[in-house]
Copies of this chain bind each other. A is one copy, B any other.
Amino acid sequence: MKIGFIGLGIMGSRMAANLQKKGFELVVTNRTRQKADDLLAGPARWAESPAEVARQVDVLITMLSTPDAVSQVALGENGFLAQLPAGSIWVDCSTVNPSFSRQMAREAKTYGIHFLDAPVAGSKDPAEKAQLLFFVGGDAQDVVVCQPLFAAMGRQAFHLGDTGMGASMKMVFNSIMGASMLAFCEALALGQSLGLEQKTLLDILSVTPMLAPFIAPKRSKFESGQYDTEFPLRWLRKDLQLASESAYEQALPLPFLNLAKEIYTQAMQAGLADQDYSAIYAYVSGQK
C-alpha cells in the first residue's frame, strides 16, 4: 500500500514520520518543501504537486488547515482528486465542518474515489508519540483498510458513522476545548483581580475536580507568560467558526460557543493569533 501525504505542518509532519517509521512507503508534498526534509532523508519521495502525489498512491492523506485549503489542493489547479486511481481512498484528517466533508465525499464519488473524514484529537505532542485519536466517518470497509495507518499514527480510531460523523465529533471536541479553556482563564483572571496569587489558584484548582485534564499541562505557559505553540489560537478560532456554521445549518442556538469564538477573535486582533490558544489567558487577564 503506497501512501500519499499532503500537508506537513506541526501535525502532518509528525504523523507522516510515524507512518514512515512503521514502514509505509510515502509520497509527499507541501507548500514549502523544506518541511519535508526530515522525511526525505528517509525513504519518502517528493512530488511537485498534489496531482503528482495522487498518481502514485493507493491511499492519500490530507492534513491541512482549512476547508478552503483542502478544496484547493483537491480540486484546484494540479489538484489530486482527478488523478487518484479509481477505487483508491482519500483520508482527510484536516479539521473541517461536516457539511464540507460531505461535499468532498460527493466530489470524490464522481471520480470513483472513496472518502473518509478522519480528524484527530491531540496536538503536537500526541502527534509525535503516535497517541492521536481518530474520529472517522465513512464506509466501514474503508475504515478497515486504513486501520493500519490509524494504528501507526495514533492510539485509537473511532468509526462514528457515515461521512461527516468524524468531522462532527471533532467539532464537539474542539468546542469543549476552546470554551473550557476560556472559562478557566476568565475565572483565573477573576481570582487574581480579587487578590489571590496565580500559584495558589493553580495549586488549589489542581486538587479539585474542576480542571479538565487537558488544561493541567498548560500551567507552565500561564506561569511563564510564554505561550509556545502547540495548537495555534488562530486554528482554534477557525474551528469554533466551523462549529458555529454547523450549528447554523442545524438551526441550533449556540450563544456560548459563539461568544467564545468572538473572544478568541478579539485575542487574535490583539496579536495572539500564532501563539498557543492558551494565550487567551493573556488576553482576558488584561496583559494584552
For A202-238 the 0/1 string (1 means CB < 8 A from B) is 0011011111111000000000000000000000000
> What B residues does A251 contact at CB under 8 A?
265, 268-269
**Interchain nearest-CB distance for A233 vs B (Å):** 12
Judged by a CB distance under 8 angstroms, whether A105 is at the interface is no
The reply to whether B260 and A256 form a contact with Cβ atoms under 8 Å apart is yes
Chain A 11-36 against B: per-residue CB contact (8 Å), 1 yes, 0 no? 00000000000000000000000000
Cβ of A254 < 8 Å from any Cβ of B?
yes
- Residues of B contacting A284 in the complex (Cβ-Cβ under 8 angstroms): 253-254, 256
A241 within 8 A of B: yes
A191 contacts B208, CB within 8 Å? no
CB < 8 Å neighbour of A168 from B160, B186, B191, B254: B191
Write the nearest CB–CB distance from A197 to chain B, whole angstroms: 9
CB distance from A75 to the nearest CB of B (A): 15
* A54 vs chain B, min Cβ distance (A): 26
| A111 CB-CB contact with B under 8 Å | no
Cβ A165 vs Cβ B195 within 8 A: yes
With a cutoff of 8 Å between Cβ atoms, the chain B residues found around residue A194 in the complex are 98, 164-165, 168, 171-172, 246, 250
A252-B193 in contact given A183-B183, A183-B257, A205-B176 (Cβ < 8 Å): yes
Please list 12 pairs of residues, one from A and one from B, whose beta carbons are closer than 8 Å in the complex, sorted by A's number: A156-B207, A164-B194, A175-B190, A179-B256, A180-B210, A186-B254, A187-B257, A241-B248, A253-B268, A255-B263, A255-B266, A269-B286
* Residues in A258-288 with C-beta less than 8 Å from chain B: 258-263, 265-266, 268-269, 284, 286
The CA of A179 and the CA of B8, in the complex, are separated in Å by 36
Chain B residues lying within 8 Å of A269, measured Cβ to Cβ, are 251-253, 286
Choose one: B161, B173, B188; the contact of A195 (CB below 8 Å): B161
Closest CB-CB distance, A128 to chain B, in whole Å? 16
| B contact residues around A211 at 8 Å (CB) | 176, 212-213
